[in-house]
Amino acid sequence: MRARLNQRNVLIHGSAAVLVVLNWGTFIWASINGHVAESGLGYLIAPFIAIGTGAFILGDRMSVLRRCLLFIIALCVLVLILRSAELDHWVYLTIGLTWGSYACLKKLTSLDAFDGLFCETVVLSALLPVLLMLLPSLTMQLPPALPGISLALLALCGFISVMPLWLFAKAASALPLSVMGIFQFVLPTTQLIVALWFYHQPISANTILCFSAIWLALLLIVGEPFLHRFLFCAKGQIVKRFDVVVVGLGIMGAASLWQLAHPGLRVLGIEAGGPTHAKGSSHGGTRIFRRAYWEGEAYLPLLNLAHTGWERLQSSSDKRLLVPAGGVFIGPRASDIVAGSLRTARTGNIAHESWDAAELGRRLPQFSASHDMQAVFEPGAYAIAAEDARLHMLSEAVDRQAQLCFGSSVQALHSSNGGICLDLSSGQQIQADAVIVTAGPWIANALLPELRAYLTPKRVPIYWFAPRKGCEYAFTADNFPVFLYECKDGSLLYGIPSGASQEAGVKIGFHNRQQLPSDPDSAAPAIDATLIRQISSYVSAILPDLSPQPSRGKWCFYTMSGDESFLLGESQRHAGVYYASACSGHGFKFATGIGALLSSMAQKQALQIDITPFHPSRFGR
């Protein structure tokens, strides 16, 4: 299963399996015995459990108008219960409580729709023999001469029963719980029609009046955004409202938007620059993905989540977004790069090989390494076509009805009635139920100053080196891997083979050198000749078949935290504002995983992994 099947998920889906059996068993009994109106009333009650849980426990935001309308609906349901004495109360109470609780449980799981339903099926399959032993009278007898059409319908019952459960689980993973609850009002209305026209069940005028009032309120709930826009237009102020707004469309913002976007959610992405500007941390042709992570095993769950995301992105594109080059991580035997990579690879059961200097020379003669150097080779590492991947995320999001806004920055965030208000530099005002801020080195300037104490934006140069004449083929992705090389003085270089993108040459840079604290709004200076001489001396020593002088260089931003790890969480000043920052020069590879987490946070869904290691509280401030 793609998500980890832990004790919590087993308990959730085991309970869900029991609830759905009780619910459908009561529903079938009610249908057979002419109590369709009661089952309809039960499914009318169920959404209030889901909506109440979403609003008061999970924190789904609802406007004052929506709360008032839901209060009216609740009154109508109460009138139905008190004034409909001809109904069997245990039927609708059982159906309402079990289905409402089932909806809440489906919102808490980290398994996807298919895996969760499979888990519930396994639980029920295990319980069935126990029930048959405890209740020997629980048998099913078919008429001796059942028509063929009836047998065919019975055979289809299982498939037809599973489909709505699967679709419901898919909706639970994609929609806020309060929205799911609203859509559930459709079922009891159709059951009222069935009870009237097909079963001819007596239904009072009071019942029909209550159902009509409920539907009128629901129409107003659905039309609330249009009503809201009309009222503001009447005042001469245009305010657009979204469910989620993503601020900053670098790789983290693009990945979040890509994960969020679907037809059931109003999503907007805002970027102060153009679609391909080169002022932040996400521009350029390539990045490295590796899982034998020398930085520590704590990153493994997030790496695995990100790896799944990158593979899903590649499967949706005709372009080559992932370049399977493999990765080699070289350093002295006792270095962090070697010991840490080996430790994480073993902990995570990641395919790898350990090479001494002689084996490194045989396998990758492009490197010059002394006898006391060692290497860890990860065949599953790859290069990411960075710019192409980010643009594909944005394109996919637009295809799924997300909206994009370029060239306008967010000047301020503040809480407003029923959500968060964003003031744009264009003068426009946006309202949202949730906001994701992934603004890179700009994140603490005006948007989230609470993070300023944790962040230091730094400019870091990146270089490209051309192979010497006759050595071009040796440095392509077919023959040369992505690499990390820790020198004896502690300098750590990284590199990506030529041909992994349209950028010519081997991309090389320092990971822990040449970091210049900078204001992201200041103009980028020319790369100093001293820095170029420094990188050239290292490259000529470890990769002698490359030209010692770089063909070109560019600046990139590292937004550094004190421990060089990430910051993920919810703003302490603005409830409903979530952020990812301080990627500290190694965050790009995690983007699809971080995007999935931010998407889940914004929708109040269960998180796929524990993010405690990345919360600012670790600094004790």
Q: Provide the percentage of residues in the chain whose pLDDT is more than 90.
A: 49
| 56: Cβ contacts below 8 Å, ≥ 6 apart | none
- Looking at the fold, whether 79 and 154 belong to one and the same domain comes out as yes
Mean pLDDT of 393-419: 89
If asked whether residues 354 and 251 sit together in one domain, one would say no
**Same domain for 428 and 371:** no
Q: Closest Cα to residue 550, out of 514, 585, 588?
A: 514
Q: Are 477 and 575 in contact (CB under 8 A)?
A: no
Please tell me whether residues 270 and 254 are part of one structural domain: yes
Give me the pLDDT at residue 419, please: 82
The conformation of residue 466, written as its DSSP 8-state character, comes to P
35 and 55 part of one domain? yes
Question: In the prediction, which pLDDT does 93 show?
Answer: 83
- 351 within 8 A of 378, measured Cβ to Cβ: yes
Residue 270 domain-assigned (yes or no): yes
Is residue 269 domain-resident? Answer: yes
pLDDT of residue 84: 63
Number of domains forming the structure of the chain: 3
The yes-or-no verdict on residue 274 having pLDDT over 50 is yes
Query: Which of 534, 560, 586 is the endpoint of a domain?
Result: 560
Tokens of 101: 């609780």
308 Cβ partners below 8 Å, 6+ apart? 2, 592
At residue 231, the pLDDT reads 54
- In terms of pLDDT, which residue wins out, 150 or 311? 311
Q: What is the phi/psi pair of residue 469, to 5°? A: -60, 130
**What DSSP string runs through 278-338?**
-SSSS-SSEEEE-SS-TT-GGGHHHHHHHHHHHHHHHHT-SS--EE---EEEEEETTSHHH
Q: What is the arithmetic mean of pLDDT over 398-404?
A: 93
- 494 lies in a domain? yes
DSSP alpha helices (H): ranges in 33-112? 36-56, 64-83, 89-108
pLDDT, greater one: 573 or 512: 512
pLDDT tens digits, residue range 194-239? Answer: 777 776 767 677 777 877 787 777 667 666 655 655 554 444 454 6
Q: Is residue 116 located within the same domain as residue 177?
A: yes
Please, which pLDDT band fits residue 123 given cuts at 50, 70 and 90? confident
Q: How confident is the model at residue 59 (pLDDT cuts 50, 70, 90)?
A: low
C-alpha torsion sign, points 530, 531, 536, 542: positive
Domain boundary among 222, 247, 269: 222
pLDDT at 236: 43
Residue 473 lies in a domain: yes
pLDDT tens readout for residues 465-486: 999 999 999 999 999 999 999 9
Q: When comparing pLDDT for 606 and 379, which is higher?
A: 379
Flag whether pLDDT at 592 surpasses 60.
yes
Enter the tokens of residue 93.
């109470």
Contact indicator for 15, 120 with CB cutoff of 8 Å: no
Half-sphere exposure of 131 (CA within 13 A, CB side): 10
| Assigned domain for 69 exists | yes
The least confident of 13-17, 28-32, 57-61, 302-306 is 57-61
Pair 89, 26 in one domain: yes
Q: Do 447 and 521 fall into the same domain? A: no
Question: Does the model's pTM come out above 0.85?
Answer: no
Q: What is the pLDDT of residue 85?
A: 65
Q: How confident is the model at residue 129 (pLDDT cuts 50, 70, 90)?
A: confident
How many Cβ atoms sit within 10 Å of the Cβ of residue 136? 7
> In terms of domains, do 476 and 412 share one?
no
295 pLDDT band, cuts 50/70/90, is very high
Q: Which domain holds residue 35?
A: 7-134+149-222
490 sits in the region (left: phi over 0; alpha: psi -120 to 50; else beta) called left
Whether the Cβ atoms of residue 201 and residue 36 lie closer than 8 Å to each other: yes
Domain end point (choices 539, 560, 581): 560
Residue 139 within any structural domain of the chain: no
Q: For residues 577 and 528, state if they share a domain.
A: no
Query: What pLDDT was estimated at residue 45?
Result: 73
Encode pLDDT of 62-94 as tens digits.
666 767 777 887 788 788 777 666 667 788 788
In this structure, what CATH number is given to the domain that contains residue 449? 3.50.50.60
Q: What angle do CA 526, 528, 531 make, to 5 degrees?
A: 135
pLDDT given for residue 176 in this prediction: 55
pLDDT per residue as tens digits for the range 235-271: 445 468 899 999 999 999 999 999 999 877 899 999 9
Asked if 258 contacts 250 with a C-beta cutoff of 8 angstroms, the reply is no
Same domain, 205 and 76: yes
Q: Mark whether 531 and 579 lie in a shared domain.
A: no
**Whether the predicted pLDDT of 301 surpasses 80:** yes
Q: What is the pLDDT of residue 3?
A: 42
Q: In the predicted model, what is the mean pLDDT of the chain? A: 85
Least confidently predicted of 22-31, 146-155, 554-563: 146-155
On whether residue 432 sits in a domain, the answer given is yes
- Flag whether 290 is in a domain: no
Mean pLDDT across 582-601: 93
In a 13 Å sphere around the CA of 608, the CA atoms on its Cβ side amount to 24
- Quick one: average pLDDT of 452-472? 94
Which of 263, 231, 560, 509 shows the shortest CA–CA distance to 401?
Answer: 263
Name residue 392's amino acid: H
Angstrom CA distances, 521 to 269, 445, 561, stand at: 21, 10, 19
CB 48 within 8 A of CB 181: yes
383: Cβ contacts below 8 Å, ≥ 6 apart: 286, 287, 288, 289, 322, 323, 325, 477, 482, 496, 497, 500, 501
pLDDT average, residue stretch 360-368: 97
pLDDT of residue 121: 81
* Nearest alpha-carbon partner for 119 in 176, 169, 157: 169
